[in-house]
């Protein structure tokens, strides 16, 4: 606003033009004088209207500020402040409406302490925007009145407060647009007048000399008066600029060009001159870059808050508004000190906290408050900005605060590490956004180690139904977690110990039971029989790191006798409980030793080496270690007994094999001698003696055959159990084999008068082991003869589709369904307590031979009573790649001796 130079140039030009007008248009002297008066009057009127229109913005902002201060007085019950600011707001409303009426209809108003006369506005197009401004101010006035009528409990959620700020910003924008519109109209009017003045001057050039004196007195003098009026207007504008209630500033070409004293003071400068020439970065510091970004996005920033030093060691809160004119590279704006507003908000928050605390103490909340206060759970309430409104005693103790008020108003970022604070803030946002309860587990470090909390958060609503806070309840579940981990470890221990009975595998499993859950390294020491009376200690090392474990096992370093003595002494002194033993160096963590005690004797020692820096084991952990060591000792004892039983079983099998061979050799020799004796007996002798000797020899031979049969069965069982029964496959004709077996049993059949019927469809050729198939047929037919009660026996054979079926039926007492599987086990008989001889090996050997040929054997009921054995064999079975049999059948491993049918 550089009025001085512009007015000087205007005065000189007008004087020249008026002189020419008077010289050329003497007849139009009166018209020229009236025209110049009209120019001066128009300028004064335009300047007055611009000043009054510009003051409307100041009045709107004044009304907003006075209403906000009245609201602060209402919230704090400061009635003098409320009445004073409300009275000032009403005076502001009156001034606003007076100036609007003066702009519309003309009149005199007081502006800056001076009366200013305003003519009636002739342009109809300017009435509408002015009435809109007046209507917007009425809405602002209505919002202010409604906000002041609200109750104190409604101040935190009063929508009229936000409406005041909104309407105030709209009025400022409308007022600026209306002033710009008035300015354009004034410029157009002055332009037309200047064209008229130019024409008049051109017409009066000829009469300049005659009328010069007259023009000077009638035009120049009034012009000087107008100049003085314009200068006064300029001074008034300067006074308004400097005396504005907000800071005004202007940045041109990136540097401050103008600023009033209030703006300079808010920006930390002593005078406006000290601000001129500075850049935004020099004045605003780090807040300049965000302001440029927002201006680049829209060109207008309605409110931008920042903090600057106030020169007194504190911070001042400022609110900037800015408008960028990119064409002229001009940035203009305002700055307002909002520190009082921030203080008022802080006072309002304190009032809310006091109200909430009073509500907690009053009425029905007293019982709930007591429960919350003395609950062992952590209970807290936070507002929507994450600030603590209330906490219970348990949370105050956990955070180490002396009093509750030390936590009220603070946020998670003030109390917890950044990672935890961000996690808590995110869970609060989830609760408010989802409007639902949120449950999660959180680990928090404590004085005695990390604690696990079950946290439940849910939203709190006010009387309008809006979410205004988040309540949280955190329960310490550390003990429950430890119990679950202990149960999980014990369950895993039982599962791993039950996975194998091998002694070496069991030792390795027991050594790894508590690694790495409770120890970094474990040394398992187990007593084993030595060369003399002193036992030998078997050592197994387990480590959390596999490479370190392999290295320690490769070194095979034995525990020193001194260290072993200290461990044993510690176990004896502790009466068998888990006890620490500190070795050198003294600062090293102690080793924890637990005895493996089973049936009153100590099998070994369980030595644990914890992680460096780990504290002593708790009572629950010591109990867990003792339980695991006890289960490990039982598992080692069971594996040792299993190993001994395996060794005993193997010794029994070797004994059976040796006994069978040792018995068969003398029996073979005895049979040869009996055969020689039979030949001698057949020489001519008296008839009676010869017949008697022959009969006795036949009886001896039959008994020897029976003994050989038993020995062969024992030998076959031994071969099957040791996996050494071999098969030699070749062409076999089944009907021929059955015929030979029946022929061998002819004497026994004739003696018992047992009829045998053999049915077949013709020759049946197959690829089998002939001696073993003969053994199957002989065992089944002999079994039918023994248990058939001297009733007919039926044998049938048939072949179809590469399979052969052999059936042996008797009419004996039959076999119960529950015994049909048991009779095929070693040493088992279907009928016990009878006088029928046999070791119970025939059917076991028969089933093993049939299965070795790829076949099956089953037991069925014979129609009319009796038993039928059905053997199904393939015609061309695959030859086994290795000897048939298994070393340890379940029946034999159990050590149970029983009888069988054969």
H helix intervals, 204-220: 208-215
Q: Which residue in 14, 2, 3, 6 sits closest to 194, CA to CA?
A: 14
Q: Distance (Å, rounded) from C-alpha 304 to C-alpha 294?
A: 9
Please determine, for residue 702, whether its predicted confidence score (pLDDT) is greater than 70: no
Q: Which residue has the tokens 């007055």?
A: 48
Q: What is the pLDDT of residue 194?
A: 67
Q: Is residue 137 within 8 Å of residue 94, measured between CB atoms?
A: no
Q: What is the pLDDT of residue 534?
A: 62
Q: What is the pLDDT of residue 808?
A: 92
Give the predicted TM-score (pTM) of the model.
0.36
Q: Taking residues 693-702, what's their average pLDDT?
A: 62
Render pLDDT for 253-267 as a digit per residue (tens, 0 to 9).
888 888 888 888 888
Q: Which residue has the tokens 């203009």?
A: 332
Q: Distance (Å, rounded) from C-alpha 682 to C-alpha 116?
A: 173
Q: Is residue 786 within 8 Å of residue 779, measured between CB atoms?
A: no
Tokens at 404, concatenated: 């509750």
Distances (CA, A) of 78 to 73, 109, 420, 540: 4, 34, 42, 83
258 backbone dihedrals φ, ψ, rounded to 5°: -140, 155
Render pLDDT for 777-802 as a digit per residue (tens, 0 to 9).
988 988 888 887 788 889 999 998 88
Q: What is the DSSP string of 582-608?
A: --SSTTSPPEEEEEEEETTEEEEEEEE
Q: Is residue 472 within 8 Å of residue 495, measured between CB atoms?
A: no
Helix (H, G, I), strand (E, B) or coil at 417: coil
806 — pLDDT class (breaks 50, 70, 90): very high
Q: Is the peptide bond before 185 cis (omega within 30 degrees of 0)?
A: no
142 backbone dihedrals φ, ψ, rounded to 5°: -65, -40
Render pLDDT for 161-202 as a digit per residue (tens, 0 to 9).
777 778 888 887 888 887 788 778 777 777 776 677 666 656
Q: Distance (Å, rounded) from C-alpha 796 to C-alpha 782?
A: 15
392 — pLDDT class (breaks 50, 70, 90): confident
Q: Distance (Å, rounded) from C-alpha 86 to C-alpha 781?
A: 126
Q: Taking residues 591-616, what's their average pLDDT?
A: 80
Strand-strand pairing, 793-800 and 756-760? parallel
Q: What is the pLDDT of residue 874?
A: 94
Q: Is residue 438 within 8 Å of residue 477, measured between CB atoms?
A: no
605 — pLDDT class (breaks 50, 70, 90): confident
Q: Is residue 319 within 8 Å of residue 335, measured between CB atoms?
A: yes
Q: What is the pLDDT of residue 2?
A: 45
Q: What is the DSSP string of 567-584?
A: HHHHHHHTTTS-EEE--S
Render pLDDT for 70-85 as a digit per residue (tens, 0 to 9).
777 777 777 788 788 8
CA angle 798, 804, 808 (to 5 degrees): 65
Helix (H, G, I), strand (E, B) or coil at 294: helix
CA angle 457, 462, 463 (to 5 degrees): 145
Please determine, for residue 657, whether its predicted confidence score (pLDDT) is greater than 60: yes
* DSSP type of residue 279: B
Q: What is the pLDDT of residue 887?
A: 41
Q: What is the DSSP string of 81-132?
A: HHHHHHHHHHHHHHHHHHHHHHHHH-EEEEETTEEEEEPPP--GGGHHHHHH
- The residues, ordered by sequence, that sit 6+ positions from 416 with a Cβ below 8 Å of its Cβ are 424
Render pLDDT for 426-464 as a digit per residue (tens, 0 to 9).
888 888 888 888 888 888 777 666 788 888 888 988 878
Q: What is the pLDDT of residue 25?
A: 57
Our measurement of the distance from residue 18's CA atom to the centroid of its chain's CA atoms, rounded to an integer in Å, reads 89
Q: What is the pLDDT of residue 856?
A: 93
Distances (CA, A) of 643 to 303, 473, 896: 87, 57, 18
Render pLDDT for 716-774 as a digit per residue (tens, 0 to 9).
666 666 666 778 899 999 989 898 888 878 777 777 778 888 888 888 999 999 988 98
Q: What is the pLDDT of residue 7?
A: 53
Q: Partners of 768 in the beta sheet?
A: 730
Q: What is the pLDDT of residue 803?
A: 92
Q: Using a pLDDT cut of 90, give the percent of the chain over it.
A: 4
Q: What is the pLDDT of residue 795?
A: 92
Tokens at 746, concatenated: 């002819």
Per residue in 283-297, is it b (16+ CB within 10 Å) or e — as a string?
A: bbeebeeebbeebee
893 — pLDDT class (breaks 50, 70, 90): very low
Q: Which residue in 866, 861, 895, 725 sits closest to 789, CA to CA?
A: 866
Q: What is the pLDDT of residue 871?
A: 94
Render pLDDT for 550-603 as a digit per residue (tens, 0 to 9).
787 777 677 777 777 778 777 776 665 777 777 655 666 678 888 887 877 777
Q: Is residue 89 within 8 Å of residue 70, measured between CB atoms?
A: yes
Q: Distance (Å, rounded) from C-alpha 14 to C-alpha 39?
A: 11
Tokens at 725, concatenated: 């029964």
Q: Distance (Å, rounded) from C-alpha 479 to C-alpha 647?
A: 47
Q: What is the pLDDT of residue 833?
A: 45
Render pLDDT for 7-60 as a digit per residue (tens, 0 to 9).
556 566 556 666 565 565 555 555 556 666 666 677 777 777 778 777 777 887
Q: Which residue in 147, 45, 154, 153 sits closest to 103, CA to CA?
A: 45
Q: Taking residues 290-298, what's their average pLDDT?
A: 81
Q: Distance (Å, rounded) from C-alpha 63 to C-alpha 95?
A: 11
Strand-strand pairing, 601-609 and 591-598? antiparallel
Q: Which residue in 714, 722, 646 sits closest to 885, CA to CA?
A: 722
Please determine, for residue 369, whether its predicted confidence score (pLDDT) is greater than 90: no
846 backbone dihedrals φ, ψ, rounded to 5°: -60, -45
SS (H, E, C) 876-896: CCCCCCCCECCCCCHHHHCCC
Q: Pick the residue with more confidence: 241 or 683? A: 241
- The residues, ordered by sequence, that sit 6+ positions from 86 with a Cβ below 8 Å of its Cβ are 66, 70, 148
A 10 A CB-CB count for 404 gives 16
Q: Distance (Å, rounded) from C-alpha 574 to C-alpha 730?
A: 73
Render pLDDT for 623-639 as a digit per residue (tens, 0 to 9).
888 888 888 888 888 88
Q: Distance (Å, rounded) from C-alpha 213 to C-alpha 202?
A: 18
| Residues in the chain, total | 902
Render pLDDT for 467-520 as a digit per residue (tens, 0 to 9).
888 898 888 887 777 777 777 777 777 777 777 778 788 888 888 887 887 788
Q: Partners of 399 in the beta sheet?
A: none
Q: Distance (Å, rounded) from C-alpha 563 to C-alpha 550?
A: 22
Q: Is the peptide bond before 33 cis (omega within 30 degrees of 0)?
A: no
What value does the mean pLDDT of the chain take? 76
Strand-strand pairing, 536-543 and 521-528? antiparallel
Render pLDDT for 129-139 as a digit per residue (tens, 0 to 9).
878 888 888 88
Q: Taking residues 638-660, what's their average pLDDT?
A: 73
Our measurement of the distance from residue 828's CA atom to the centroid of its chain's CA atoms, rounded to an integer in Å, reads 61
Tokens at 721, concatenated: 């159990």
């Amino acid at each position: 606003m550089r009025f001085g130079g512009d007015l000087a140039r205007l005065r000189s030009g007008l004087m020249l033009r008026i002189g020419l007008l008077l010289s050329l248009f003497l007849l139009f002297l009166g018209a020229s004088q009236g025209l110049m008066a009209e120019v001066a009057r128009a300028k004064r009127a335009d300047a007055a209207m611009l000043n009054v229109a510009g003051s409307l913005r100041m009045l709107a902002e004044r009304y907003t500020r006075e209403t906000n201060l009245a609201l602060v007085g209402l919230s704090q019950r400061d009635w003098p402040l409320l009445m004073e600011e409300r009275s000032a707001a009403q005076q502001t409303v009156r001034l606003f409406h007076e100036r609007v009426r003066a702009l519309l209809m003309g009149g005199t108003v007081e502006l800056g302490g001076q009366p200013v006369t305003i003519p009636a506005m002739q342009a109809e197009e300017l009435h509408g925007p002015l009435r809109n401004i007046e209507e917007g101010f009425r809405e602002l006035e209505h919002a202010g009145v409604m906000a002041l009528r609200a109750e104190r409990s409604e101040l935190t959620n009063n929508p009229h407060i936000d409406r005041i700020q909104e309407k105030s910003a709209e009025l400022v924008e409308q007022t600026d647009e209306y002033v710009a519109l008035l300015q354009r109209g004034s410029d157009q009017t002055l332009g037309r007048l200047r064209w008229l003045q130019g024409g008049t001057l051109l017409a009066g050039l000829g009469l300049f000399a005659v009328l010069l004196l007259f023009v000077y007195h009638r035009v120049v003098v009034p012009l000087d008066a107008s100049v003085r009026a314009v200068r006064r207007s300029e001074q008034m504008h300067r006074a308004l600029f400097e005396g504005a209630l907000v800071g005004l500033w202007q940045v041109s070409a990136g540097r401050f060009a103008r600023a009033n004293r209030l703006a300079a003071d808010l920006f930390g400068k002593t005078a406006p001159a000290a601000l001129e020439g500075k850049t935004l970065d020099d004045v605003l510091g780090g807040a300049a870059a965000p302001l440029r970004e927002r201006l680049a996005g829209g060109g207008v920033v309605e409110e931008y808050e920042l903090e600057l030093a106030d020169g007194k060691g504190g911070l001042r809160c400022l609110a900037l508004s800015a408008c960028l004119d990119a064409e002229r590279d001009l940035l203009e704006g305002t700055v307002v000190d909002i520190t009082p507003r921030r203080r008022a908000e802080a006072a309002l928050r304190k009032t809310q906290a006091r109200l909430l605390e009073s509500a907690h103490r009053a009425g029905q909340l007293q019982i709930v408050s007591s429960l919350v206060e003395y609950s062992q759970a952590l209970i807290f309430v936070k507002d929507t900005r994450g600030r603590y409104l209330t906490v219970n005693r348990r949370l105050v103790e956990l955070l180490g605060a002396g009093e509750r008020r030390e936590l009220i108003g603070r946020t998670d970022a003030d109390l917890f590490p950044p990672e935890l604070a961000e996690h808590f803030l995110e869970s609060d946002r989830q609760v408010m956004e989802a409007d639902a309860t949120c449950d999660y587990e959180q680990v928090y470090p404590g004085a005695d180690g990390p604690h696990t909390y079950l946290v439940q958060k849910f939203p709190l609503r006010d009387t309008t139904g809006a979410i205004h806070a988040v309540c949280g309840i955190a329960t310490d579940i550390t003990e429950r977690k430890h119990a679950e981990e202990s149960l999980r470890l014990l369950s895993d221990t039982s599962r791993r110990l039950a996975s194998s009975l091998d002694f070496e595998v069991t030792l390795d499993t027991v050594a790894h039971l508590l690694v790495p859950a409770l120890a970094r390294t474990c040394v398992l020491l187990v007593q084993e029989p030595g060369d003399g009376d002193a036992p030998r200690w078997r050592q197994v090392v387990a480590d959390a790191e596999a490479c370190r474990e392999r290295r320690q096992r490769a070194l095979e370093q034995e525990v020193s006798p001194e260290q072993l003595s200290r461990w044993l002494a510690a176990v004896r002194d502790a009466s068998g409980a888990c006890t620490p033993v500190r070795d050198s160096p003294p600062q090293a963590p102690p080793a924890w030793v637990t005895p493996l005690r089973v049936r009153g004797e100590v099998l070994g020692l369980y030595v644990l080496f914890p992680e460096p820096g780990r504290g002593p084991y708790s009572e629950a952990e010591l109990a867990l270690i003792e339980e695991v060591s006890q289960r490990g000792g039982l598992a080692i004892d069971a594996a040792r007994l299993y190993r001994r039983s395996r060794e005993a079983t193997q010794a029994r099998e070797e004994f059976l094999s040796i006994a069978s061979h040792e018995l068969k050799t003398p029996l073979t020799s005895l049979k040869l001698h009996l055969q020689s004796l039979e030949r001698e007996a057949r020489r001519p002798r008296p008839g009676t003696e010869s017949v008697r000797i022959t009969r006795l020899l036949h009886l001896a031979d039959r008994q020897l055959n029976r003994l050989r049969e038993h020995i062969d069965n024992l030998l076959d069982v031994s071969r099957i159990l040791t996996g050494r029964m071999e098969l030699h496959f070749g062409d076999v004709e089944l009907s021929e084999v059955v015929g030979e077996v029946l022929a061998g049993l002819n004497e026994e059949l004739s003696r018992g008068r047992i009829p045998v019927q053999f049915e077949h469809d013709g020759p049946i050729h197959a690829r089998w082991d002939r001696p073993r198939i003969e053994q199957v047929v002989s065992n089944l037919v002999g079994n039918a003869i023994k248990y058939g009660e001297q009733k007919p026996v039926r044998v049938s054979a048939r072949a179809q589709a590469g399979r052969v079926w052999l059936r042996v039926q008797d009419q004996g007492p039959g076999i119960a369904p529950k015994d049909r599987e048991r009779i095929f086990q070693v040493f088992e008989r279907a009928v016990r307590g009878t006088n029928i001889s046999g070791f119970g090996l025939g059917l076991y050997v028969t089933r093993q031979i049939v299965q070795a040929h790829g076949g099956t054997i089953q037991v069925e009921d014979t129609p009319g009573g009796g038993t039928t054995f059905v053997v199904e064999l393939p015609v061309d079975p695959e030859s086994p790649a290795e000897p048939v049999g298994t070393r340890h059948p379940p029946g034999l491993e159990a050590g149970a001796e029983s009888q069988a049918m054969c």
